Amino acid sequence: MRSLAMVSLAVLLVVSVICAQATVAETAPKPKLVTTETFLAKLHTGNLSALVRTVASPDNRHEVHPVGRFGKSLVVSLDGQAYGPKLQGIYDGTLTFSPDSRRLAYLAGAPQKGARRSVILDGKEGKQYDEVAMPLMFSPDSRRFAYLAKKGKMWLAVVDGVEMKEYEDVAGPIAFSADGARMAYSAKADGKWFIVTDGQEGEPYDIAAGPVFSSDGKRLAFAARSGTRCFVVVDGQPQKEYDDLSGETLRFSPDGQHLCYAAKRGKSWVIVADGVEGPEYDALSYPVYSPDSARLAYYGARNKKVMVVVDGVDGKPYDQASWLTFSPDSRRVAYLVHFGEKNRVVVDGVEGPEYERAMAPTFSPDSKRLAYLAGNKDKFAVMVDGVATREYDGIFWGTRIVFDAPGRLHTLLRSGPDEDATIVDVQITER
Protein backbone atom coordinates (compact mmCIF):
# COMPACT_ATOMS: atom_id res chain seq x y z
CA MET A 1 0.00 0.00 0.00
CA ARG A 2 3.01 2.28 0.17
CA SER A 3 2.91 4.09 -3.12
CA LEU A 4 4.62 7.01 -4.78
CA ALA A 5 1.25 8.62 -5.40
CA MET A 6 -2.08 8.93 -3.67
CA VAL A 7 -3.67 5.53 -3.10
CA SER A 8 -6.81 5.08 -5.19
CA LEU A 9 -9.60 2.63 -4.51
CA ALA A 10 -10.29 2.24 -8.22
CA VAL A 11 -8.37 1.45 -11.32
CA LEU A 12 -10.02 4.46 -12.91
CA LEU A 13 -9.38 5.36 -16.50
CA VAL A 14 -7.47 8.58 -15.94
CA VAL A 15 -7.37 10.54 -19.12
CA SER A 16 -5.38 13.65 -19.39
CA VAL A 17 -8.34 14.83 -21.26
CA ILE A 18 -10.97 17.46 -21.12
CA CYS A 19 -13.67 18.98 -23.11
CA ALA A 20 -15.94 21.70 -22.08
CA GLN A 21 -19.43 22.94 -22.25
CA ALA A 22 -20.12 26.10 -24.14
CA THR A 23 -20.68 29.20 -22.06
CA VAL A 24 -21.42 32.76 -23.07
CA ALA A 25 -18.20 34.05 -24.60
CA GLU A 26 -16.80 37.32 -23.42
CA THR A 27 -15.40 39.37 -26.26
CA ALA A 28 -12.38 41.64 -25.92
CA PRO A 29 -10.49 43.67 -28.53
CA LYS A 30 -7.41 41.99 -30.00
CA PRO A 31 -4.45 43.10 -27.89
CA LYS A 32 -1.02 44.39 -28.73
CA LEU A 33 1.79 42.41 -27.10
CA VAL A 34 5.12 43.91 -26.10
CA THR A 35 7.69 41.41 -24.80
CA THR A 36 10.74 41.90 -22.60
CA GLU A 37 13.22 39.06 -22.15
CA THR A 38 15.42 38.61 -19.08
CA PHE A 39 18.25 36.07 -19.10
CA LEU A 40 18.01 33.83 -16.04
CA ALA A 41 20.65 31.11 -16.43
CA LYS A 42 22.60 28.95 -18.83
CA LEU A 43 21.45 25.35 -18.85
CA HIS A 44 24.12 22.69 -18.55
CA THR A 45 23.99 19.09 -17.37
CA GLY A 46 27.71 18.30 -17.42
CA ASN A 47 28.44 14.66 -18.16
CA LEU A 48 25.01 13.27 -17.27
CA SER A 49 24.28 10.66 -19.91
CA ALA A 50 20.52 10.44 -19.26
CA LEU A 51 18.04 13.17 -20.11
CA VAL A 52 17.30 15.07 -16.90
CA ARG A 53 14.29 17.15 -16.01
CA THR A 54 14.73 20.89 -15.75
CA VAL A 55 12.07 22.26 -13.42
CA ALA A 56 10.46 25.70 -13.25
CA SER A 57 9.33 27.15 -9.93
CA PRO A 58 5.58 27.84 -9.45
CA ASP A 59 6.14 31.57 -9.95
CA ASN A 60 8.10 30.80 -13.16
CA ARG A 61 11.06 32.95 -12.08
CA HIS A 62 13.51 30.16 -11.15
CA GLU A 63 14.76 26.92 -12.69
CA VAL A 64 16.63 23.96 -11.21
CA HIS A 65 18.31 20.86 -12.63
CA PRO A 66 21.05 18.36 -11.66
CA VAL A 67 24.55 18.68 -13.08
CA GLY A 68 27.14 15.90 -13.41
CA ARG A 69 30.85 16.62 -13.33
CA PHE A 70 33.62 14.34 -14.61
CA GLY A 71 35.18 12.49 -11.70
CA LYS A 72 33.22 14.56 -9.18
CA SER A 73 29.96 14.41 -7.29
CA LEU A 74 26.65 15.60 -8.64
CA VAL A 75 25.36 19.03 -7.76
CA VAL A 76 22.11 20.90 -8.30
CA SER A 77 22.08 24.08 -10.38
CA LEU A 78 19.57 26.70 -9.21
CA ASP A 79 19.35 29.67 -11.60
CA GLY A 80 22.80 28.76 -12.88
CA GLN A 81 24.47 28.58 -9.45
CA ALA A 82 25.54 25.49 -7.49
CA TYR A 83 23.03 24.73 -4.74
CA GLY A 84 23.16 22.35 -1.81
CA PRO A 85 25.70 19.64 -0.96
CA LYS A 86 27.70 17.54 -3.39
CA LEU A 87 26.06 14.14 -3.82
CA GLN A 88 26.64 10.72 -5.35
CA GLY A 89 23.28 10.81 -7.12
CA ILE A 90 20.01 12.70 -7.43
CA TYR A 91 16.69 11.08 -8.25
CA ASP A 92 15.32 12.65 -11.41
CA GLY A 93 11.77 13.93 -11.11
CA THR A 94 12.04 14.66 -7.38
CA LEU A 95 13.05 18.34 -7.56
CA THR A 96 10.20 20.09 -5.72
CA PHE A 97 9.68 23.80 -5.10
CA SER A 98 7.48 25.08 -2.30
CA PRO A 99 4.25 26.81 -3.43
CA ASP A 100 5.81 30.24 -2.79
CA SER A 101 8.89 29.24 -4.87
CA ARG A 102 11.26 30.13 -2.01
CA ARG A 103 12.17 26.62 -0.86
CA LEU A 104 13.51 23.56 -2.66
CA ALA A 105 13.59 19.86 -1.80
CA TYR A 106 14.80 16.76 -3.64
CA LEU A 107 15.78 13.14 -3.08
CA ALA A 108 19.42 12.07 -3.21
CA GLY A 109 21.33 8.82 -2.93
CA ALA A 110 24.02 6.65 -4.49
CA PRO A 111 23.07 5.00 -7.80
CA GLN A 112 23.80 1.48 -6.54
CA LYS A 113 20.84 -0.81 -5.91
CA GLY A 114 19.82 -0.85 -2.25
CA ALA A 115 21.65 2.39 -1.45
CA ARG A 116 20.09 4.50 1.28
CA ARG A 117 18.40 7.78 0.41
CA SER A 118 18.17 11.21 1.95
CA VAL A 119 16.07 14.30 1.37
CA ILE A 120 17.77 17.63 0.70
CA LEU A 121 15.70 20.53 2.04
CA ASP A 122 16.72 24.18 1.80
CA GLY A 123 20.20 23.06 0.75
CA LYS A 124 20.78 20.79 3.78
CA GLU A 125 20.89 17.00 3.72
CA GLY A 126 18.57 15.12 6.09
CA LYS A 127 18.78 11.69 7.68
CA GLN A 128 19.29 8.64 5.46
CA TYR A 129 16.52 6.07 5.06
CA ASP A 130 16.14 2.73 3.29
CA GLU A 131 13.42 4.17 1.04
CA VAL A 132 11.61 7.47 0.62
CA ALA A 133 8.18 7.56 -1.03
CA MET A 134 7.24 10.34 -3.39
CA PRO A 135 5.94 12.97 -3.54
CA LEU A 136 7.79 15.29 -1.21
CA MET A 137 5.15 17.60 0.28
CA PHE A 138 5.20 21.25 1.29
CA SER A 139 2.18 22.70 3.05
CA PRO A 140 0.13 25.19 0.97
CA ASP A 141 1.60 28.09 2.98
CA SER A 142 5.13 26.71 2.28
CA ARG A 143 6.08 26.74 5.96
CA ARG A 144 5.95 23.00 6.62
CA PHE A 145 7.48 20.00 4.86
CA ALA A 146 6.88 16.25 5.13
CA TYR A 147 7.58 12.94 3.45
CA LEU A 148 7.14 9.19 4.05
CA ALA A 149 10.20 7.01 4.68
CA LYS A 150 11.15 3.41 5.42
CA LYS A 151 13.42 2.54 8.32
CA GLY A 152 14.25 -1.14 8.47
CA LYS A 153 10.92 -2.93 7.99
CA MET A 154 8.78 -0.06 9.22
CA TRP A 155 7.42 3.10 7.61
CA LEU A 156 6.90 6.52 9.13
CA ALA A 157 6.19 10.15 8.31
CA VAL A 158 8.96 12.69 8.71
CA VAL A 159 7.42 16.10 9.44
CA ASP A 160 9.58 19.22 9.67
CA GLY A 161 12.56 16.93 10.31
CA VAL A 162 10.85 15.04 13.15
CA GLU A 163 10.08 11.30 12.86
CA MET A 164 6.49 10.32 13.62
CA LYS A 165 5.20 6.95 14.85
CA GLU A 166 6.32 3.85 12.93
CA TYR A 167 3.80 1.64 11.10
CA GLU A 168 3.69 -1.52 8.97
CA ASP A 169 3.07 0.70 5.97
CA VAL A 170 2.10 4.27 5.07
CA ALA A 171 0.71 5.89 1.95
CA GLY A 172 0.64 9.37 0.55
CA PRO A 173 0.53 11.97 -0.56
CA ILE A 174 0.41 13.72 2.79
CA ALA A 175 -2.47 16.19 3.11
CA PHE A 176 -1.97 19.58 4.76
CA SER A 177 -4.64 22.12 5.59
CA ALA A 178 -4.34 25.46 3.80
CA ASP A 179 -2.67 27.15 6.77
CA GLY A 180 -0.38 24.16 7.40
CA ALA A 181 -1.74 23.68 10.92
CA ARG A 182 -3.21 20.23 10.23
CA MET A 183 -1.85 17.14 8.52
CA ALA A 184 -3.19 13.71 7.54
CA TYR A 185 -1.95 10.56 5.80
CA SER A 186 -2.77 6.82 5.52
CA ALA A 187 -1.11 4.23 7.76
CA LYS A 188 -1.40 0.49 8.36
CA ALA A 189 -1.19 -1.51 11.60
CA ASP A 190 -2.38 -5.01 12.45
CA GLY A 191 -3.48 -5.51 8.87
CA LYS A 192 -5.86 -2.53 8.85
CA TRP A 193 -5.59 0.92 7.31
CA PHE A 194 -6.62 4.18 8.95
CA ILE A 195 -6.06 7.92 8.61
CA VAL A 196 -3.58 9.55 10.97
CA THR A 197 -4.78 13.12 11.54
CA ASP A 198 -2.62 15.47 13.58
CA GLY A 199 -0.96 12.40 15.11
CA GLN A 200 -4.26 10.74 16.09
CA GLU A 201 -5.24 7.38 14.56
CA GLY A 202 -8.75 7.10 13.12
CA GLU A 203 -11.11 4.16 12.70
CA PRO A 204 -9.59 1.05 11.03
CA TYR A 205 -10.75 -0.13 7.59
CA ASP A 206 -9.58 -2.61 4.98
CA ILE A 207 -8.50 0.47 3.03
CA ALA A 208 -8.41 4.15 4.02
CA ALA A 209 -6.87 6.57 1.54
CA GLY A 210 -6.78 10.01 -0.03
CA PRO A 211 -7.46 12.37 2.91
CA VAL A 212 -8.40 15.95 1.98
CA PHE A 213 -9.08 19.00 4.14
CA SER A 214 -11.58 21.76 3.51
CA SER A 215 -10.11 25.21 2.91
CA ASP A 216 -10.60 26.26 6.53
CA GLY A 217 -9.07 23.00 7.80
CA LYS A 218 -12.16 22.14 9.85
CA ARG A 219 -13.43 19.29 7.69
CA LEU A 220 -11.74 16.07 6.59
CA ALA A 221 -12.83 13.51 4.01
CA PHE A 222 -11.23 10.28 2.78
CA ALA A 223 -12.08 7.12 0.81
CA ALA A 224 -12.51 3.82 2.62
CA ARG A 225 -13.38 0.17 2.02
CA SER A 226 -14.76 -2.50 4.34
CA GLY A 227 -15.17 -5.90 2.75
CA THR A 228 -16.48 -5.39 -0.76
CA ARG A 229 -18.20 -2.06 -0.13
CA CYS A 230 -16.58 1.32 -0.66
CA PHE A 231 -17.62 4.66 0.79
CA VAL A 232 -16.38 8.13 1.62
CA VAL A 233 -15.99 9.18 5.24
CA VAL A 234 -16.78 12.87 5.84
CA ASP A 235 -16.24 14.46 9.25
CA GLY A 236 -16.07 10.95 10.73
CA GLN A 237 -19.37 9.82 9.16
CA PRO A 238 -19.50 7.07 6.48
CA GLN A 239 -21.51 8.04 3.40
CA LYS A 240 -23.42 5.92 0.86
CA GLU A 241 -21.78 2.67 -0.20
CA TYR A 242 -20.63 1.96 -3.77
CA ASP A 243 -18.91 -0.82 -5.68
CA ASP A 244 -15.75 1.22 -6.07
CA LEU A 245 -14.37 4.71 -5.51
CA SER A 246 -11.53 6.91 -6.69
CA GLY A 247 -9.94 8.56 -3.68
CA GLU A 248 -7.99 10.79 -6.08
CA THR A 249 -11.21 12.58 -7.09
CA LEU A 250 -12.20 13.75 -3.59
CA ARG A 251 -12.66 17.55 -3.68
CA PHE A 252 -13.98 20.15 -1.29
CA SER A 253 -15.24 23.35 -2.88
CA PRO A 254 -13.20 26.51 -2.16
CA ASP A 255 -15.73 27.60 0.49
CA GLY A 256 -15.64 24.16 2.12
CA GLN A 257 -19.41 23.75 1.86
CA HIS A 258 -19.49 21.19 -0.97
CA LEU A 259 -17.83 17.83 -1.59
CA CYS A 260 -17.64 15.66 -4.69
CA TYR A 261 -15.99 12.39 -5.73
CA ALA A 262 -16.20 9.67 -8.40
CA ALA A 263 -18.00 6.45 -7.47
CA LYS A 264 -18.70 3.23 -9.38
CA ARG A 265 -22.11 1.62 -9.48
CA GLY A 266 -22.17 -1.62 -11.47
CA LYS A 267 -20.16 -0.94 -14.64
CA SER A 268 -20.64 2.83 -14.65
CA TRP A 269 -19.08 5.76 -12.85
CA VAL A 270 -20.90 8.81 -11.49
CA ILE A 271 -19.83 12.04 -9.83
CA VAL A 272 -21.41 12.30 -6.39
CA ALA A 273 -21.75 15.97 -5.42
CA ASP A 274 -23.23 16.74 -2.01
CA GLY A 275 -24.66 13.21 -2.01
CA VAL A 276 -26.42 13.60 -5.37
CA GLU A 277 -25.35 11.31 -8.23
CA GLY A 278 -24.71 12.75 -11.69
CA PRO A 279 -24.94 11.07 -15.12
CA GLU A 280 -23.25 7.73 -15.80
CA TYR A 281 -19.94 7.43 -17.66
CA ASP A 282 -17.42 4.73 -18.53
CA ALA A 283 -14.81 6.64 -16.52
CA LEU A 284 -14.48 9.94 -14.65
CA SER A 285 -11.59 12.06 -13.44
CA TYR A 286 -10.40 15.44 -12.19
CA PRO A 287 -13.44 17.31 -10.84
CA VAL A 288 -12.90 21.08 -10.52
CA TYR A 289 -15.02 23.57 -8.57
CA SER A 290 -15.27 27.16 -9.74
CA PRO A 291 -13.67 29.82 -7.50
CA ASP A 292 -17.11 30.88 -6.19
CA SER A 293 -17.92 27.20 -5.37
CA ALA A 294 -21.16 27.42 -7.37
CA ARG A 295 -20.08 25.41 -10.44
CA LEU A 296 -18.53 21.98 -11.00
CA ALA A 297 -16.73 20.58 -14.04
CA TYR A 298 -15.03 17.24 -14.65
CA TYR A 299 -13.89 14.83 -17.37
CA GLY A 300 -16.28 12.07 -18.46
CA ALA A 301 -15.49 9.25 -20.88
CA ARG A 302 -17.91 7.30 -23.07
CA ASN A 303 -17.13 5.01 -26.00
CA LYS A 304 -13.42 5.87 -25.83
CA LYS A 305 -14.14 9.59 -26.19
CA VAL A 306 -13.79 12.21 -23.50
CA MET A 307 -15.88 15.27 -22.79
CA VAL A 308 -15.82 18.01 -20.22
CA VAL A 309 -19.00 18.05 -18.17
CA VAL A 310 -19.86 21.52 -16.84
CA ASP A 311 -22.82 22.04 -14.52
CA GLY A 312 -24.03 18.54 -15.40
CA VAL A 313 -24.08 19.12 -19.18
CA ASP A 314 -21.79 17.19 -21.56
CA GLY A 315 -19.48 19.07 -23.88
CA LYS A 316 -18.32 17.92 -27.30
CA PRO A 317 -16.48 14.56 -27.32
CA TYR A 318 -12.75 14.52 -28.16
CA ASP A 319 -9.87 12.06 -28.26
CA GLN A 320 -8.17 13.65 -25.27
CA ALA A 321 -8.06 16.89 -23.32
CA SER A 322 -6.34 18.62 -20.38
CA TRP A 323 -5.79 21.85 -18.42
CA LEU A 324 -9.43 22.40 -17.38
CA THR A 325 -9.78 25.78 -15.67
CA PHE A 326 -12.41 28.30 -14.60
CA SER A 327 -11.89 32.04 -14.84
CA PRO A 328 -11.44 33.96 -11.55
CA ASP A 329 -15.01 35.29 -11.80
CA SER A 330 -16.26 31.69 -12.30
CA ARG A 331 -18.17 32.59 -15.49
CA ARG A 332 -15.77 31.22 -18.13
CA VAL A 333 -14.24 27.80 -18.83
CA ALA A 334 -11.15 26.87 -20.84
CA TYR A 335 -9.36 23.61 -21.61
CA LEU A 336 -7.06 21.90 -24.08
CA VAL A 337 -8.32 19.24 -26.52
CA HIS A 338 -6.46 16.77 -28.71
CA PHE A 339 -7.28 15.59 -32.27
CA GLY A 340 -4.77 12.85 -32.97
CA GLU A 341 -1.48 14.75 -33.21
CA LYS A 342 -3.06 18.21 -33.12
CA ASN A 343 -4.17 20.36 -30.20
CA ARG A 344 -6.64 23.22 -29.74
CA VAL A 345 -7.59 25.42 -26.82
CA VAL A 346 -11.33 25.67 -26.25
CA VAL A 347 -12.61 28.74 -24.41
CA ASP A 348 -16.28 29.44 -23.76
CA GLY A 349 -17.10 26.53 -26.06
CA VAL A 350 -15.20 27.96 -29.04
CA GLU A 351 -12.29 25.97 -30.50
CA GLY A 352 -9.11 27.87 -31.29
CA PRO A 353 -6.50 27.18 -34.02
CA GLU A 354 -4.68 23.86 -34.33
CA TYR A 355 -1.13 23.44 -33.00
CA GLU A 356 1.27 20.55 -32.65
CA ARG A 357 1.70 21.48 -28.98
CA ALA A 358 -0.33 23.66 -26.61
CA MET A 359 -0.52 24.04 -22.86
CA ALA A 360 -1.33 26.14 -19.80
CA PRO A 361 -4.50 28.08 -20.67
CA THR A 362 -4.78 30.80 -18.01
CA PHE A 363 -7.30 33.59 -17.49
CA SER A 364 -6.28 37.11 -16.53
CA PRO A 365 -7.20 38.29 -13.01
CA ASP A 366 -10.15 40.28 -14.42
CA SER A 367 -11.28 37.19 -16.40
CA LYS A 368 -11.33 39.15 -19.66
CA ARG A 369 -8.37 37.58 -21.42
CA LEU A 370 -7.03 34.08 -21.97
CA ALA A 371 -3.35 33.31 -22.48
CA TYR A 372 -1.64 30.02 -23.26
CA LEU A 373 1.52 28.53 -24.79
CA ALA A 374 1.34 27.00 -28.27
CA GLY A 375 3.55 26.16 -31.19
CA ASN A 376 4.80 23.77 -33.84
CA LYS A 377 8.03 21.80 -34.31
CA ASP A 378 9.10 22.21 -30.66
CA LYS A 379 8.76 26.00 -30.82
CA PHE A 380 6.48 27.91 -28.44
CA ALA A 381 4.84 31.33 -28.49
CA VAL A 382 2.73 33.04 -25.88
CA MET A 383 -0.82 33.44 -27.20
CA VAL A 384 -3.14 36.13 -25.79
CA ASP A 385 -6.66 36.23 -27.23
CA GLY A 386 -5.37 34.88 -30.52
CA VAL A 387 -2.32 37.19 -30.77
CA ALA A 388 1.15 35.59 -30.62
CA THR A 389 4.54 36.72 -29.40
CA ARG A 390 7.63 35.58 -31.27
CA GLU A 391 8.53 31.89 -30.98
CA TYR A 392 10.85 30.48 -28.33
CA ASP A 393 12.91 27.30 -28.27
CA GLY A 394 11.37 25.23 -25.50
CA ILE A 395 9.77 24.93 -22.09
CA PHE A 396 10.54 23.58 -18.62
CA TRP A 397 8.78 21.04 -16.47
CA GLY A 398 6.28 23.34 -14.76
CA THR A 399 6.33 26.18 -17.31
CA ARG A 400 3.02 28.02 -17.17
CA ILE A 401 1.47 31.45 -17.61
CA VAL A 402 1.60 33.77 -14.58
CA PHE A 403 -0.46 36.97 -14.70
CA ASP A 404 1.10 39.77 -12.63
CA ALA A 405 -1.80 42.13 -13.42
CA PRO A 406 -4.74 42.12 -15.87
CA GLY A 407 -2.48 43.63 -18.53
CA ARG A 408 0.81 41.91 -17.74
CA LEU A 409 2.04 38.31 -17.60
CA HIS A 410 5.26 36.34 -17.62
CA THR A 411 6.49 32.81 -18.21
CA LEU A 412 9.77 30.85 -18.23
CA LEU A 413 11.02 29.57 -21.60
CA ARG A 414 14.16 28.38 -23.34
CA SER A 415 15.63 30.90 -25.74
CA GLY A 416 18.56 31.17 -28.13
CA PRO A 417 20.98 28.65 -29.66
CA ASP A 418 21.91 27.32 -26.22
CA GLU A 419 18.28 27.31 -25.06
CA ASP A 420 19.10 29.46 -22.05
CA ALA A 421 16.51 29.91 -19.31
CA THR A 422 14.73 33.17 -20.09
CA ILE A 423 11.95 35.00 -18.26
CA VAL A 424 9.58 36.38 -20.87
CA ASP A 425 7.46 39.31 -19.70
CA VAL A 426 4.49 40.32 -21.85
CA GLN A 427 2.76 43.68 -21.60
CA ILE A 428 -0.79 43.59 -22.98
CA THR A 429 -2.28 46.80 -24.37
CA GLU A 430 -5.24 47.68 -26.58
CA ARG A 431 -4.56 48.27 -30.27
Cα-based torsion angle of the residue sequence 136, 139, 143, 147 in order, rounded to the nearest 10 degrees: -30
Alpha-helix runs per DSSP H in 44-182: none
Domains defined for the chain, CATH in brackets: 31-430 (2.130.10)
Q: How far apart are CA 431 and CA 422, in angstroms?
A: 27
The letter for the amino acid at 321 is A
Q: How far apart are CA 234 and CA 255, in angstroms?
A: 16
Are the C-beta atoms of 322 and 306 separated by less than 8 Å? no
Kindly provide the residue ranges of all beta strands, DSSP E only, lying in 152-282, ordered along the sequence: 154-159, 162-163, 169-176, 183-189, 192-197, 200-201, 207-213, 220-226, 229-234, 237-238, 244-252, 259-265, 268-273, 276-277
What is the full per-residue pLDDT of the chain (431 aa) written as tens digits?
443 233 333 333 333 333 333 333 445 578 999 999 999 999 887 766 555 789 999 999 999 998 876 556 788 999 999 999 988 888 888 999 999 999 999 999 987 777 899 999 999 999 999 999 999 999 999 999 999 999 999 999 999 999 999 999 999 889 999 999 999 999 999 999 999 999 999 999 999 999 999 999 999 999 999 999 999 999 999 999 999 998 899 999 999 999 999 999 999 999 999 999 999 999 999 999 999 999 999 999 999 999 999 999 999 999 998 999 999 999 999 999 998 889 999 999 999 999 999 999 999 999 999 999 999 888 999 999 999 999 999 999 999 999 999 999 999 999 988 889 999 999 999 87
